[in-house]
Chains A and B, each alone.
Chain A
Protein backbone atom coordinates (compact mmCIF):
# COMPACT_ATOMS: atom_id res chain seq x y z
CA UNK A 1 0.00 0.00 0.00
CA UNK A 2 1.31 3.46 -0.94
CA UNK A 3 1.91 5.67 2.08
CA UNK A 4 3.17 8.60 -0.03
CA UNK A 5 2.14 9.32 -3.61
CA UNK A 6 3.69 12.16 -5.58
CA UNK A 7 2.21 12.89 -9.03
CA UNK A 8 3.68 15.34 -11.54
CA UNK A 9 4.96 17.59 -8.75
CA UNK A 10 6.39 20.95 -9.75
CA UNK A 11 7.76 23.52 -7.31
CA UNK A 12 9.10 26.98 -8.06
CA UNK A 13 11.15 29.14 -5.70
CA UNK A 14 11.37 32.86 -6.52
CA UNK A 15 10.06 32.05 -10.03
CA UNK A 16 12.81 29.51 -10.84
CA UNK A 17 11.83 25.86 -11.24
CA UNK A 18 13.31 23.70 -8.48
CA UNK A 19 11.34 20.53 -9.13
CA UNK A 20 9.66 19.61 -12.38
CA UNK A 21 7.17 16.82 -13.04
CA UNK A 22 8.33 14.52 -10.23
CA UNK A 23 6.28 11.34 -9.71
CA UNK A 24 6.90 8.39 -7.41
CA UNK A 25 5.20 6.21 -4.81
CA UNK A 26 6.53 5.08 -1.45
CA UNK A 27 5.08 1.92 0.09
CA UNK A 28 4.63 1.48 3.81
CA UNK A 29 7.80 0.17 5.48
CA UNK A 30 10.15 1.09 2.63
CA UNK A 31 13.55 2.69 3.19
CA UNK A 32 14.23 5.25 0.46
CA UNK A 33 17.57 6.98 0.00
CA UNK A 34 17.18 10.38 -1.72
CA UNK A 35 20.35 11.45 -3.50
CA UNK A 36 21.40 14.06 -6.03
CA UNK A 37 23.85 16.91 -6.49
CA UNK A 38 23.70 20.19 -4.57
CA UNK A 39 20.69 22.26 -5.63
CA UNK A 40 18.95 19.25 -7.15
CA UNK A 41 15.77 19.83 -5.11
CA UNK A 42 16.15 17.11 -2.46
CA UNK A 43 15.39 19.35 0.51
CA UNK A 44 12.70 21.16 -1.49
CA UNK A 45 11.03 17.80 -2.16
CA UNK A 46 10.79 16.83 1.50
CA UNK A 47 9.89 20.35 2.64
CA UNK A 48 7.05 20.22 0.12
CA UNK A 49 5.97 16.81 1.46
CA UNK A 50 5.89 18.40 4.93
CA UNK A 51 3.69 21.28 3.75
CA UNK A 52 6.43 23.89 4.19
CA UNK A 53 6.58 24.86 0.49
CA UNK A 54 3.78 25.73 -1.91
CA UNK A 55 3.06 23.40 -4.82
CA UNK A 56 3.02 24.88 -8.33
CA UNK A 57 1.79 21.80 -10.11
CA UNK A 58 0.83 18.19 -9.49
CA UNK A 59 -0.33 16.65 -6.23
CA UNK A 60 0.85 14.85 -3.14
CA UNK A 61 -1.08 12.25 -1.16
CA UNK A 62 0.00 11.09 2.28
CA UNK A 63 -1.73 8.07 3.80
CA UNK A 64 -4.47 8.32 1.19
CA UNK A 65 -5.25 12.01 1.80
CA UNK A 66 -4.26 14.89 -0.44
CA UNK A 67 -1.75 17.20 1.24
CA UNK A 68 -4.15 20.10 1.97
CA UNK A 69 -6.53 17.65 3.68
CA UNK A 70 -3.84 15.76 5.58
CA UNK A 71 -3.86 16.60 9.29
CA UNK A 72 -2.20 13.63 11.05
CA UNK A 73 1.17 15.35 11.18
CA UNK A 74 2.13 13.45 14.32
CA UNK A 75 2.39 10.36 12.09
CA UNK A 76 5.38 11.97 10.38
CA UNK A 77 8.67 12.47 12.19
CA UNK A 78 11.09 15.00 10.72
CA UNK A 79 14.78 15.45 11.39
CA UNK A 80 15.84 18.74 9.79
CA UNK A 81 19.18 19.36 8.11
CA UNK A 82 20.44 21.85 10.69
CA UNK A 83 20.28 20.25 14.11
CA UNK A 84 22.98 22.38 15.68
CA UNK A 85 21.32 24.73 18.16
CA UNK A 86 22.37 28.20 17.05
CA UNK A 87 21.12 29.95 20.20
CA UNK A 88 23.37 28.19 22.73
CA UNK A 89 21.80 29.99 25.66
CA UNK A 90 18.24 28.91 24.84
CA UNK A 91 16.97 27.82 28.26
CA UNK A 92 15.48 24.48 27.26
CA UNK A 93 16.39 21.07 28.59
CA UNK A 94 16.68 18.05 26.31
CA UNK A 95 13.49 16.65 27.86
CA UNK A 96 11.55 19.84 27.08
CA UNK A 97 12.74 19.86 23.46
CA UNK A 98 11.95 16.18 22.86
CA UNK A 99 8.48 16.63 24.40
CA UNK A 100 7.58 19.20 21.72
CA UNK A 101 7.46 16.26 19.28
CA UNK A 102 4.26 15.16 21.09
CA UNK A 103 2.42 18.45 20.55
CA UNK A 104 1.10 17.40 17.12
CA UNK A 105 -1.14 14.74 18.69
CA UNK A 106 -2.57 17.02 21.37
CA UNK A 107 -5.54 19.33 21.13
CA UNK A 108 -5.80 22.85 22.56
CA UNK A 109 -4.90 23.67 25.29
CA UNK A 110 -1.90 21.38 24.91
CA UNK A 111 -0.70 19.94 28.23
CA UNK A 112 1.74 17.17 29.02
CA UNK A 113 0.78 14.32 31.34
CA UNK A 114 2.89 11.81 33.22
CA UNK A 115 2.48 9.32 30.36
CA UNK A 116 4.04 11.91 28.02
CA UNK A 117 7.02 12.41 30.33
CA UNK A 118 7.41 8.62 30.57
CA UNK A 119 7.32 8.41 26.76
CA UNK A 120 10.06 11.06 26.51
CA UNK A 121 12.25 9.11 28.93
CA UNK A 122 11.55 5.88 27.06
CA UNK A 123 12.62 7.30 23.70
CA UNK A 124 15.74 8.85 25.25
CA UNK A 125 16.60 5.44 26.72
CA UNK A 126 16.00 3.75 23.35
CA UNK A 127 18.51 6.14 21.76
CA UNK A 128 20.90 5.73 24.69
CA UNK A 129 20.75 9.41 25.75
CA UNK A 130 18.57 9.19 28.87
CA UNK A 131 21.42 10.78 30.86
CA UNK A 132 21.01 13.99 28.85
CA UNK A 133 17.34 14.53 29.79
CA UNK A 134 18.00 17.53 32.06
CA UNK A 135 20.98 18.90 30.12
CA UNK A 136 20.60 22.32 28.46
CA UNK A 137 20.13 21.80 24.72
CA UNK A 138 22.86 24.31 23.79
CA UNK A 139 25.52 22.36 25.71
CA UNK A 140 25.39 19.24 23.53
CA UNK A 141 27.90 18.04 20.94
CA UNK A 142 26.88 17.62 17.29
CA UNK A 143 26.33 13.86 17.68
CA UNK A 144 24.31 14.29 20.88
CA UNK A 145 22.16 17.03 19.27
CA UNK A 146 21.53 14.73 16.34
CA UNK A 147 20.21 11.99 18.61
CA UNK A 148 18.10 14.44 20.62
CA UNK A 149 16.42 15.73 17.45
CA UNK A 150 15.95 12.16 16.26
CA UNK A 151 14.26 11.47 19.62
CA UNK A 152 12.01 14.50 19.01
CA UNK A 153 11.11 13.13 15.57
CA UNK A 154 10.37 9.65 16.98
CA UNK A 155 8.68 10.45 20.29
CA UNK A 156 5.15 10.47 18.83
CA UNK A 157 5.83 7.03 17.31
CA UNK A 158 5.38 8.21 13.69
CA UNK A 159 4.80 5.86 10.77
CA UNK A 160 7.09 7.88 8.47
CA UNK A 161 10.51 9.30 9.31
CA UNK A 162 11.90 11.99 7.03
CA UNK A 163 15.58 12.76 7.57
CA UNK A 164 17.39 15.59 5.79
CA UNK A 165 21.14 14.93 5.58
CA UNK A 166 21.26 13.58 9.11
CA UNK A 167 24.89 12.51 9.00
CA UNK A 168 26.45 15.61 7.44
CA UNK A 169 27.97 16.89 10.69
CA UNK A 170 28.91 13.54 12.22
CA UNK A 171 32.29 11.81 12.50
CA UNK A 172 32.58 8.40 10.77
CA UNK A 173 31.98 6.32 13.93
CA UNK A 174 28.91 8.30 15.00
CA UNK A 175 27.69 8.26 11.39
CA UNK A 176 27.86 4.45 11.18
CA UNK A 177 26.05 4.14 14.52
CA UNK A 178 23.37 6.59 13.31
CA UNK A 179 22.77 4.58 10.12
CA UNK A 180 22.46 1.39 12.20
CA UNK A 181 19.86 3.06 14.45
CA UNK A 182 17.76 4.14 11.44
CA UNK A 183 18.08 0.70 9.83
CA UNK A 184 16.88 -0.93 13.05
CA UNK A 185 13.84 1.39 13.12
CA UNK A 186 13.02 0.34 9.57
CA UNK A 187 13.54 -3.38 10.10
CA UNK A 188 12.24 -3.85 13.66
CA UNK A 189 9.47 -1.25 13.85
CA UNK A 190 8.62 -1.16 10.11
CA UNK A 191 8.96 2.62 9.94
CA UNK A 192 8.92 4.11 6.47
CA UNK A 193 12.17 6.03 6.01
CA UNK A 194 12.99 8.83 3.55
CA UNK A 195 16.61 9.85 4.01
CA UNK A 196 18.41 12.56 2.07
CA UNK A 197 22.13 12.08 1.82
CA UNK A 198 25.21 12.90 -0.20
CA UNK A 199 26.72 9.70 1.14
CA UNK A 200 25.59 7.60 -1.86
CA UNK A 201 27.92 4.69 -1.17
CA UNK A 202 26.85 4.20 2.47
CA UNK A 203 23.13 4.63 1.81
CA UNK A 204 23.46 1.74 -0.63
CA UNK A 205 24.14 -0.52 2.34
CA UNK A 206 20.87 0.34 4.10
CA UNK A 207 18.17 1.69 1.76
CA UNK A 208 15.96 -0.64 -0.27
CA UNK A 209 15.40 1.96 -2.99
CA UNK A 210 17.19 5.00 -4.34
CA UNK A 211 15.55 8.17 -5.60
CA UNK A 212 17.91 10.31 -7.67
CA UNK A 213 16.87 13.92 -8.22
CA UNK A 214 18.33 16.58 -10.45
CA UNK A 215 15.43 19.05 -10.47
CA UNK A 216 13.53 16.19 -12.08
CA UNK A 217 13.29 12.54 -11.17
CA UNK A 218 16.28 10.89 -12.83
CA UNK A 219 15.94 7.49 -11.21
CA UNK A 220 13.64 5.73 -8.74
CA UNK A 221 13.98 2.04 -8.16
CA UNK A 222 15.58 -0.78 -6.20
CA UNK A 223 19.27 -1.57 -6.24
CA UNK A 224 19.03 -4.25 -8.88
CA UNK A 225 17.52 -1.65 -11.19
CA UNK A 226 20.04 0.95 -10.04
CA UNK A 227 22.97 -1.31 -10.87
CA UNK A 228 21.65 -1.86 -14.38
CA UNK A 229 20.69 1.76 -15.03
CA UNK A 230 22.65 3.48 -17.78
CA UNK A 231 21.32 6.85 -16.53
CA UNK A 232 22.93 6.19 -13.18
CA UNK A 233 26.25 5.12 -14.62
CA UNK A 234 26.15 8.38 -16.56
CA UNK A 235 25.59 10.35 -13.34
CA UNK A 236 27.83 8.40 -10.98
CA UNK A 237 30.39 6.91 -13.35
CA UNK A 238 30.78 3.13 -13.79
CA UNK A 239 33.15 2.70 -10.86
CA UNK A 240 31.03 4.61 -8.28
CA UNK A 241 27.90 2.79 -9.47
CA UNK A 242 29.67 -0.52 -9.06
CA UNK A 243 30.88 0.50 -5.57
CA UNK A 244 27.35 1.43 -4.43
CA UNK A 245 25.97 -1.85 -5.79
CA UNK A 246 28.76 -3.73 -4.05
CA UNK A 247 27.94 -2.03 -0.68
CA UNK A 248 24.31 -3.05 -1.02
Chain B
Protein backbone atom coordinates (compact mmCIF):
# COMPACT_ATOMS: atom_id res chain seq x y z
CA UNK B 1 0.00 0.00 0.00
CA UNK B 2 2.91 2.28 0.87
CA UNK B 3 4.21 1.94 -2.68
CA UNK B 4 0.86 2.29 -4.38
CA UNK B 5 0.19 5.93 -3.51
CA UNK B 6 3.54 7.20 -4.85
CA UNK B 7 2.99 5.11 -7.98
CA UNK B 8 -0.47 6.68 -8.47
CA UNK B 9 1.00 10.14 -7.87
CA UNK B 10 3.65 9.34 -10.46
CA UNK B 11 1.04 8.09 -12.92
CA UNK B 12 -0.94 11.30 -12.57
CA UNK B 13 2.09 13.25 -13.76
CA UNK B 14 1.91 11.63 -17.19
CA UNK B 15 0.02 13.55 -19.86
CA UNK B 16 -1.46 10.40 -21.42
CA UNK B 17 -2.89 9.31 -18.04
CA UNK B 18 -4.36 12.78 -17.46
CA UNK B 19 -5.95 12.77 -20.92
CA UNK B 20 -7.25 9.23 -20.43
CA UNK B 21 -8.80 10.15 -17.05
CA UNK B 22 -10.46 13.33 -18.31
CA UNK B 23 -11.78 11.79 -21.55
CA UNK B 24 -12.80 8.56 -19.80
CA UNK B 25 -14.70 10.38 -17.05
CA UNK B 26 -16.66 12.50 -19.53
CA UNK B 27 -17.52 9.50 -21.72
CA UNK B 28 -18.36 7.44 -18.64
CA UNK B 29 -20.71 10.16 -17.38
CA UNK B 30 -22.49 10.39 -20.76
CA UNK B 31 -22.82 6.60 -20.97
CA UNK B 32 -24.19 6.46 -17.41
CA UNK B 33 -26.82 9.16 -17.94
CA UNK B 34 -28.04 7.71 -21.24
CA UNK B 35 -27.72 4.19 -19.84
CA UNK B 36 -30.36 4.81 -17.17
CA UNK B 37 -32.90 5.80 -19.85
CA UNK B 38 -31.89 2.99 -22.21
CA UNK B 39 -31.88 0.25 -19.55
CA UNK B 40 -35.28 1.31 -18.21
CA UNK B 41 -36.69 1.26 -21.73
CA UNK B 42 -35.10 -2.15 -22.39
CA UNK B 43 -33.07 -0.56 -25.18
CA UNK B 44 -29.64 -1.08 -23.64
CA UNK B 45 -28.55 -3.40 -26.44
CA UNK B 46 -28.88 -0.55 -28.93
CA UNK B 47 -25.44 0.50 -27.64
CA UNK B 48 -24.06 -2.94 -28.47
CA UNK B 49 -25.70 -2.89 -31.90
CA UNK B 50 -24.41 0.58 -32.78
CA UNK B 51 -20.92 -0.30 -31.55
CA UNK B 52 -20.84 -3.45 -33.66
CA UNK B 53 -22.24 -1.55 -36.64
CA UNK B 54 -19.44 1.02 -36.31
CA UNK B 55 -16.95 -1.66 -37.36
CA UNK B 56 -18.12 -1.02 -40.94
CA UNK B 57 -17.45 2.76 -41.09
CA UNK B 58 -14.25 2.38 -39.05
CA UNK B 59 -13.03 -0.35 -41.42
CA UNK B 60 -14.00 1.75 -44.45
CA UNK B 61 -12.28 4.83 -43.02
CA UNK B 62 -9.08 2.88 -42.33
CA UNK B 63 -9.23 1.48 -45.86
CA UNK B 64 -9.64 4.98 -47.31
CA UNK B 65 -7.07 6.46 -44.95
CA UNK B 66 -9.38 8.97 -43.21
CA UNK B 67 -9.97 9.57 -39.49
CA UNK B 68 -12.47 6.82 -38.47
CA UNK B 69 -14.77 8.98 -36.33
CA UNK B 70 -15.54 11.22 -39.34
CA UNK B 71 -17.34 8.26 -40.93
CA UNK B 72 -18.44 6.43 -37.78
CA UNK B 73 -20.54 9.31 -36.40
CA UNK B 74 -22.73 10.08 -39.47
CA UNK B 75 -23.10 6.43 -40.50
CA UNK B 76 -23.81 5.46 -36.88
CA UNK B 77 -26.62 8.04 -36.74
CA UNK B 78 -28.04 6.65 -40.00
CA UNK B 79 -27.85 3.14 -38.53
CA UNK B 80 -29.66 4.25 -35.35
CA UNK B 81 -32.48 5.78 -37.43
CA UNK B 82 -32.61 2.58 -39.43
CA UNK B 83 -33.05 0.58 -36.21
CA UNK B 84 -35.86 2.93 -35.09
CA UNK B 85 -37.49 2.67 -38.51
CA UNK B 86 -37.31 -1.13 -38.59
CA UNK B 87 -38.69 -1.37 -35.06
CA UNK B 88 -41.58 1.05 -35.55
CA UNK B 89 -42.55 0.93 -39.21
CA UNK B 90 -41.37 -2.44 -40.47
CA UNK B 91 -43.17 -4.22 -37.61
CA UNK B 92 -39.94 -5.84 -36.46
CA UNK B 93 -39.14 -6.43 -32.79
CA UNK B 94 -36.54 -3.98 -31.47
CA UNK B 95 -33.97 -6.67 -30.57
CA UNK B 96 -34.28 -8.21 -34.04
CA UNK B 97 -33.76 -4.79 -35.66
CA UNK B 98 -30.65 -4.20 -33.51
CA UNK B 99 -29.28 -7.68 -34.34
CA UNK B 100 -29.86 -7.19 -38.05
CA UNK B 101 -28.13 -3.79 -38.25
CA UNK B 102 -25.25 -4.90 -36.04
CA UNK B 103 -24.64 -8.05 -38.13
CA UNK B 104 -24.51 -5.99 -41.34
CA UNK B 105 -21.94 -3.68 -39.70
CA UNK B 106 -19.74 -6.52 -38.46
CA UNK B 107 -19.90 -8.35 -41.79
CA UNK B 108 -19.00 -5.20 -43.74
CA UNK B 109 -16.21 -4.41 -41.26
CA UNK B 110 -14.71 -7.88 -41.63
CA UNK B 111 -14.74 -7.55 -45.43
CA UNK B 112 -13.04 -4.11 -45.16
CA UNK B 113 -10.40 -5.66 -42.88
CA UNK B 114 -9.73 -8.46 -45.36
CA UNK B 115 -9.46 -5.95 -48.23
CA UNK B 116 -6.96 -3.80 -46.36
CA UNK B 117 -4.94 -6.32 -44.39
CA UNK B 118 -2.35 -3.64 -43.52
CA UNK B 119 -4.58 -1.83 -41.02
CA UNK B 120 -5.57 -4.83 -38.88
CA UNK B 121 -3.46 -3.53 -35.99
CA UNK B 122 -5.40 -0.21 -36.00
CA UNK B 123 -8.68 -2.11 -36.15
CA UNK B 124 -7.59 -4.15 -33.13
CA UNK B 125 -7.30 -0.89 -31.17
CA UNK B 126 -10.90 -0.01 -32.02
CA UNK B 127 -12.13 -3.50 -31.17
CA UNK B 128 -10.66 -3.50 -27.65
CA UNK B 129 -10.15 0.20 -26.94
CA UNK B 130 -7.03 2.22 -26.29
CA UNK B 131 -7.88 4.94 -23.79
CA UNK B 132 -4.23 5.48 -22.88
CA UNK B 133 -3.58 6.49 -26.49
CA UNK B 134 -6.12 9.34 -26.53
CA UNK B 135 -4.58 12.36 -28.20
CA UNK B 136 -4.95 15.95 -26.98
CA UNK B 137 -7.31 16.72 -29.89
CA UNK B 138 -9.40 13.63 -29.15
CA UNK B 139 -9.71 14.53 -25.48
CA UNK B 140 -10.80 18.09 -26.34
CA UNK B 141 -13.30 16.71 -28.88
CA UNK B 142 -14.57 14.24 -26.27
CA UNK B 143 -15.09 16.97 -23.66
CA UNK B 144 -16.90 19.19 -26.18
CA UNK B 145 -19.20 16.43 -27.44
CA UNK B 146 -19.86 15.24 -23.88
CA UNK B 147 -21.02 18.74 -22.91
CA UNK B 148 -23.38 18.75 -25.91
CA UNK B 149 -24.75 15.30 -24.96
CA UNK B 150 -25.25 16.24 -21.30
CA UNK B 151 -26.82 19.61 -22.19
CA UNK B 152 -29.32 17.99 -24.58
CA UNK B 153 -30.22 15.38 -21.95
CA UNK B 154 -30.75 18.17 -19.42
CA UNK B 155 -32.99 20.13 -21.82
CA UNK B 156 -35.05 17.03 -22.65
CA UNK B 157 -34.87 15.46 -19.19
CA UNK B 158 -38.57 15.58 -18.32
CA UNK B 159 -39.62 14.28 -21.75
CA UNK B 160 -37.08 11.44 -21.55
CA UNK B 161 -38.28 10.54 -18.06
CA UNK B 162 -41.97 10.63 -19.02
CA UNK B 163 -41.34 8.43 -22.07
CA UNK B 164 -39.16 6.00 -20.10
CA UNK B 165 -41.92 5.58 -17.53
CA UNK B 166 -44.96 5.45 -19.82
CA UNK B 167 -44.51 6.25 -23.52
CA UNK B 168 -48.20 6.01 -24.35
CA UNK B 169 -49.15 8.45 -21.60
CA UNK B 170 -46.44 10.80 -22.83
CA UNK B 171 -48.16 10.78 -26.23
CA UNK B 172 -51.52 11.52 -24.56
CA UNK B 173 -49.86 14.52 -22.89
CA UNK B 174 -49.03 15.81 -26.37
CA UNK B 175 -45.26 15.25 -26.05
CA UNK B 176 -43.42 14.59 -29.30
CA UNK B 177 -42.25 11.09 -28.40
CA UNK B 178 -40.88 10.35 -31.88
CA UNK B 179 -38.59 13.39 -31.82
CA UNK B 180 -37.42 12.61 -28.27
CA UNK B 181 -36.65 9.00 -29.26
CA UNK B 182 -34.61 10.29 -32.19
CA UNK B 183 -32.68 12.61 -29.89
CA UNK B 184 -32.00 9.69 -27.53
CA UNK B 185 -30.59 7.47 -30.27
CA UNK B 186 -28.48 10.28 -31.78
CA UNK B 187 -26.98 11.04 -28.37
CA UNK B 188 -26.41 7.31 -27.83
CA UNK B 189 -24.64 7.06 -31.18
CA UNK B 190 -22.29 9.94 -30.32
CA UNK B 191 -21.58 8.49 -26.90
CA UNK B 192 -21.05 4.92 -28.12
CA UNK B 193 -18.62 6.04 -30.79
CA UNK B 194 -16.69 8.12 -28.27
CA UNK B 195 -16.81 5.14 -25.88
CA UNK B 196 -15.19 2.88 -28.46
CA UNK B 197 -11.93 4.70 -27.78
CA UNK B 198 -12.21 3.87 -24.06
CA UNK B 199 -13.18 0.20 -23.96
CA UNK B 200 -13.53 -0.77 -27.61
CA UNK B 201 -16.35 -1.99 -29.82
CA UNK B 202 -16.61 -5.29 -27.95
CA UNK B 203 -17.16 -3.76 -24.51
CA UNK B 204 -18.65 -0.30 -25.03
CA UNK B 205 -22.21 -1.40 -24.21
CA UNK B 206 -20.96 -2.33 -20.73
CA UNK B 207 -20.28 1.38 -20.08
CA UNK B 208 -23.97 1.98 -20.79
CA UNK B 209 -25.39 -1.01 -18.92
CA UNK B 210 -23.22 -1.47 -15.78
CA UNK B 211 -23.48 2.00 -14.16
CA UNK B 212 -27.24 2.06 -14.81
CA UNK B 213 -27.95 -1.38 -13.34
CA UNK B 214 -25.65 -0.60 -10.40
CA UNK B 215 -27.57 2.61 -9.67
CA UNK B 216 -30.97 0.91 -10.10
CA UNK B 217 -30.11 -1.47 -7.23
CA UNK B 218 -29.82 1.46 -4.85
CA UNK B 219 -32.01 4.38 -5.83
CA UNK B 220 -35.67 5.12 -5.20
CA UNK B 221 -35.91 8.41 -7.09
CA UNK B 222 -35.05 8.98 -10.75
CA UNK B 223 -32.62 11.86 -10.24
CA UNK B 224 -30.80 9.84 -7.57
CA UNK B 225 -30.48 6.96 -10.05
CA UNK B 226 -28.81 9.27 -12.57
CA UNK B 227 -26.44 10.66 -9.92
CA UNK B 228 -25.51 7.17 -8.62
CA UNK B 229 -24.91 5.96 -12.18
CA UNK B 230 -22.59 8.87 -12.96
CA UNK B 231 -20.67 8.34 -9.69
CA UNK B 232 -20.31 4.60 -10.43
CA UNK B 233 -19.19 5.27 -14.03
CA UNK B 234 -16.63 7.96 -13.19
CA UNK B 235 -15.25 5.96 -10.23
CA UNK B 236 -14.86 2.83 -12.33
CA UNK B 237 -13.08 4.75 -15.11
CA UNK B 238 -10.64 6.35 -12.64
CA UNK B 239 -10.01 3.10 -10.75
CA UNK B 240 -9.82 1.07 -13.95
CA UNK B 241 -7.23 3.34 -15.58
CA UNK B 242 -5.09 3.51 -12.44
CA UNK B 243 -5.28 -0.27 -11.84
CA UNK B 244 -4.41 -0.88 -15.48
CA UNK B 245 -1.38 1.39 -15.13
CA UNK B 246 -0.25 -0.17 -11.82
CA UNK B 247 -0.61 -3.80 -12.88
CA UNK B 248 0.07 -3.39 -16.61
CA UNK B 249 -3.41 -4.54 -17.65
CA UNK B 250 -5.54 -3.54 -20.65
CA UNK B 251 -7.37 -0.38 -19.49
CA UNK B 252 -10.72 -0.99 -21.24
CA UNK B 253 -11.18 -4.48 -19.86
CA UNK B 254 -10.09 -3.35 -16.36
CA UNK B 255 -12.70 -0.54 -16.39
CA UNK B 256 -15.40 -3.06 -17.30
CA UNK B 257 -14.38 -5.44 -14.49
CA UNK B 258 -14.30 -2.60 -11.93
CA UNK B 259 -17.84 -1.77 -13.11
CA UNK B 260 -18.78 -5.40 -12.48
CA UNK B 261 -17.37 -5.22 -8.93
CA UNK B 262 -19.44 -2.08 -8.27
CA UNK B 263 -22.53 -3.86 -9.56
CA UNK B 264 -21.88 -6.87 -7.29
CA UNK B 265 -21.43 -4.53 -4.30
CA UNK B 266 -24.68 -2.64 -4.96
CA UNK B 267 -26.59 -5.87 -5.64
CA UNK B 268 -25.30 -7.41 -2.40
CA UNK B 269 -26.18 -4.23 -0.51
CA UNK B 270 -29.73 -4.37 -1.84
CA UNK B 271 -30.09 -8.04 -0.90
CA UNK B 272 -28.67 -7.53 2.59
CA UNK B 273 -30.78 -4.46 3.31
CA UNK B 274 -33.86 -5.99 1.55
CA UNK B 275 -34.57 -2.77 -0.30
> Chain A: residues with CB nearer than 8 A to chain B?
50-52, 71, 73-74, 76, 78, 80, 87, 89-93, 96-97, 100-101, 103-104, 106, 108-112, 134, 136, 152
Contact = CB atoms under 8 A, between A and B. Distances in A.
16 contacts: A52-B171, A73-B172, A80-B168, A91-B216, A91-B221, A92-B222, A93-B221, A93-B222, A97-B165, A103-B159, A103-B173, A104-B173, A104-B174, A104-B175, A110-B158, A152-B169
B174 A111 contact: no
Interface in B162-192: 162, 165-166, 168-175
Contacts of A97: 165
Nearest to A70: B174
B193 interface: no
B18 interface: no
Given A100-B173, A103-B175, A112 B158 contact: yes
9 A-B pairs with the lowest CB-CB distances in the bound complex, closest first? A73-B174, A104-B173, A91-B225, A110-B158, A109-B155, A100-B162, A136-B220, A91-B219, A93-B221
Nearest to A108: B155
B269 to A, nearest CB: 14
Interface in B194-233: 215-216, 219-222, 224-225
B40 interface: yes
Contacts of B170: 100, 103
A51 B177 CA distance: 13
A87 B172 contact: no
A87 B40 contact: yes
B165 A100 contact: yes
A52 B168 contact: yes
Nearest to B162: A100
A96 B160 CA distance: 13
B161 interface: yes
Contacts of B268: none
A96 B224 contact: no
B109 to A, nearest CB: 35
Contact of B40 (A71, A90, A134): A90
B156 interface: yes
Nearest to B221: A93
B59 to A, nearest CB: 38
A109 B165 contact: no
A92 B165 contact: yes
Contacts of A96: 161, 221-222
Interface residues of B, number: 26
| Dominant secondary structure at the A interface | loop
B172 A100 contact: no
A87 B154 CA distance: 24
B212 to A, nearest CB: 10
Contact of B161 (A73, A80, A100, A109): A100
Given A80-B169, A111-B158, A91 B174 contact: no
Contact of B158 (A71, A78, A100, A152): A100
B83 to A, nearest CB: 22
A104 B172 CA distance: 8
Nearest to A101: B173
Contacts of A111: 158
Nearest to A139: B220
Contacts of B174: 71, 73-74, 104
Nearest to B218: A91
B158 A103 contact: yes
Contact of A51 (B156, B161, B172, B224): B172
Most buried by A among B155, B168, B172, B225: B172
Contacts of B215: 91
Most buried by B among A50, A74, A110: A110
A225 B95 CA distance: 53
Contacts of A76: 172
A103 B156 CA distance: 12
Given A51-B171, A91-B225, A92-B221, 10 more contacts: A71-B174, A78-B172, A80-B168, A80-B169, A90-B165, A91-B40, A93-B220, A104-B174, A109-B155, A111-B158
Nearest to B165: A92
Given A91-B220, A92-B221, A92-B222, A52 B172 contact: yes
Nearest to B215: A91
Contacts of A101: 173
A48 to B, nearest CB: 12
Contacts of A103: 158-159, 162, 170, 173, 175
Nearest to A76: B172
Nearest to B152: A109
A91 B173 contact: no
Contacts of A112: 158
B122 to A, nearest CB: 41
